[in-house]
Structure 1
Amino acid sequence: MIAIRDITVTFGGVIALNKVTVDLTDPVVGIIGPNGAGKTTVLNVLSGFLTPKTGSINAFGTELLSLKPHMRSRWGLRRSFQKEQVVDELTVADNVGVVLDSLPLSAAERERHLSAALEFAGLASVRRERAAGLNAFQRRMTEIARCSAGPAKVLLLDEPGAGLSQNEVEILRRTISDVHAFNGAMTLLIDHDVDLIQAVCSSTMVLDFGSLVTSGPTRTVLSDPRVRAVYLGVEEVA
């Protein structure tokens, strides 16, 4: 479980997150809300890119805010970004394997984890190709493989489905759904594709103007009149 308590983030006079408190327990949790709601800010706090003004985050018994970003990565926290971060000059295998380099693994263990992640993401056949030759979908899957490699505990995925075709999103959906079975990790997923959120997220939290609107089972959350008004743009008729 990830227990987020009273997380507040400010940028000058702007409150990006306002005393956000929520328990996240399901294998895949959605984070939704309109642009500027604070979704990516939550991931930035979890990954250590931002230090909150107040609050605490306990993930599976570990107080994350006490760890520097590189220690969170070694602990098992992995992150993808809205703009994919794939190095063209490296091979697919090297792009994925970099996350394993700081871990105390033997050469055989490293190769086992690397091969498993590449197979999981459907990239085994292109492992030796330079990333410069990959298409947009393969680049996204390279990031999924990197996040999934080794003893991962929490995956933070920021709009991984952006720009993908319907068929590619379907493959992505199946892959994200299988992460927990593959390595036991929890996934936190930001995406504007409500169909993707419904398909893979057992529970969902909704943010608006930095505040938590609601959190709970995805179907219940998406039928909430507040969510329909704030996020889906549907106003209830009295």
Structure 2
Amino acid sequence: MIAIENLVVQFGGVRPIDRLTAQLAAPVSGLIGPNGAGKTTLLNVLSGFLRPIEGKVTLNGQALLELSPLQRVRAGLRRSFQTEQVVEDLTVAGNLAAIADHVLPARARLHAVSAALEFVRLVSVGARPGGSLNLFQRRLVELGKCVVGAPKLILLDEPAAGLSNEESGVLRELILRIPAEYGAQVLVIDHDVELIRAMCTETLVLDYGRMLALGPTDDVLASPDVRRAYLGEF
């Protein structure tokens, strides 16, 4: 479970996260909101790339904010980005091994990489360089990196952006398998409301850095306040 208490991020006079308090406990949770709502800022705080001026964050009871980004990775936090972080001159297997090298003992790395390649259906291209992959394959590499080495929390920032409906369906299926097969909680940002509806049993909506709504996804998406702020309905 992710527990956020009175979280504040400030850049000069702007607060992209403004006294946010929320608890996310679902196996797959959604994070939505209009542009500039603070979604990626929140992921940056959880990842350790931004330091808040106030507040607490815990993952399954463990305090996160005192840990460095690498310590968070070793504690089980994984993240994908809006722009894929695939090393083009490493093989697909090598991209996954780069994560395994930081989080697993040497004897366990080969098996973990092989299992992740199989999970994301990239065994057949495991020896190909990252630079030769198409967009969908690159997104699968990112997901493969997230499941290496006993993840506890996986943060996915617009994982389906630019994908076809068929590709999005495959990605959705894989994401939904993660909690049962890896024991990890997943938090997903995406602008595709139907994708969020299909994947996430609970959803947090941010607006100007504050919580606009949190609850069962269908209830949240039906909220008049959410429809006005996020879906542009009146």
Shorter-chain-normalised TM-score: which range?
Answer: over 0.9
Q: Deviations over 1:123-155 (max 9, x none)?
A: 111111111111100000000000111110000
**Residue equivalent to 1:64:** 64
Runs of 4 or more above 6 Å deviation: none
Paired position in structure 2 for 1:141: 140
Residue 111 (structure 1) aligned with residue 110 (structure 2) = yes
Give, in angstroms, the shift of residue 103 of structure 1.
2.4
Which amino acid is 2:155 matched to?
L
Specify the code of the residue in structure 1 equivalent to 2:182: N
- SS of the residue corresponding to residue 205 of structure 1 reads strand
**One-letter amino acid matched to 1:165:** S
- What CA distance in whole angstroms lies between the structure 1 residues aligned with 2:114 and 2:94? 11
SS at match of 2:102: coil
The whole-number CA distance in structure 1 between the counterparts of 2:31 and 2:104 is 32
3-state DSSP class of the match of 2:103? coil
Q: Render the CA deviation track for 1:7-27: whole Å, top value 9, x for unaligned.
A: 000110011101000011001
Aligned to 2:74: 74
Question: 1:1-238 maps to which residues of 2 (within 5 A)?
Answer: 1-107=1-107, 109-235=108-234
1:98 corresponds to which letter in structure 2? Answer: A
Q: CA–CA distance in 1 between the matches of 2:132 and 2:98?
A: 19
CA distance in 1 between counterparts of 2:103 and 2:74 reads: 6
Residue 102 of structure 1 aligns to a residue whose secondary structure is helix
1:8 alignment partner, SS class: strand
Unpaired segments ≥5 residues, structure 1: none
| Secondary structure at the counterpart of residue 44 of structure 1 | helix
Distance 1:166 1:102 in 2: 34
CA distance in structure 2 between the partners assigned to 1:37 and 1:63 by the alignment:
25
Secondary structure in structure 2 of the residue aligned to 1:65: coil
> For the residues of structure 2 that align with 1:56 and 1:97, how far apart are their CA atoms?
32
CA distance, structure 1, for counterparts of residue 110 and residue 87 of structure 2: 20
1: distance between equivalents of 2:164 and 2:97? 27
Q: Secondary structure at the match of 1:9?
A: strand
Q: Distance in 2 between matches of 1:5 and 1:192?
A: 25
CA deviations on 1:139-194 (whole Å, 9 max, x unpaired) are 00000000111110000100011111111001011011111112110011000000
The residue type equivalent to 1:47 in the other structure is S
Superposed CA offset, 1:199-219 (max 9, x none):
000100000111110101000
User: What's the CA shift string for 1:14-70, capped at 9, x where partnerless?
Assistant: 111010000110011100000000000010000000000100001112100010111
For these two proteins, the number of residue pairs brought into alignment is 234
Distance 2:139 2:104 in 1: 27
1:106 positional shift: 3.3
- Alpha-carbon offset, residue 104 of structure 1: 4.0
What is the CA–CA distance in structure 2 between the aligned matches of 1:147 and 1:66, rounded to whole Å?
Answer: 22
CA distance in 2, matches of 1:103, 1:19: 33
Whichever residue aligns with residue 29 of structure 2, its letter is V
The share of aligned pairs that are identical, in percent, is 51
Q: What are the ranges of 5 or more consecutive residues in structure 2 without an aligned counterpart?
A: none
Whole-Å Cα distance in 1 between the matches of residues 63 and 91 of structure 2? 35
Q: Distance in 2 between matches of 1:131 and 1:67?
A: 30
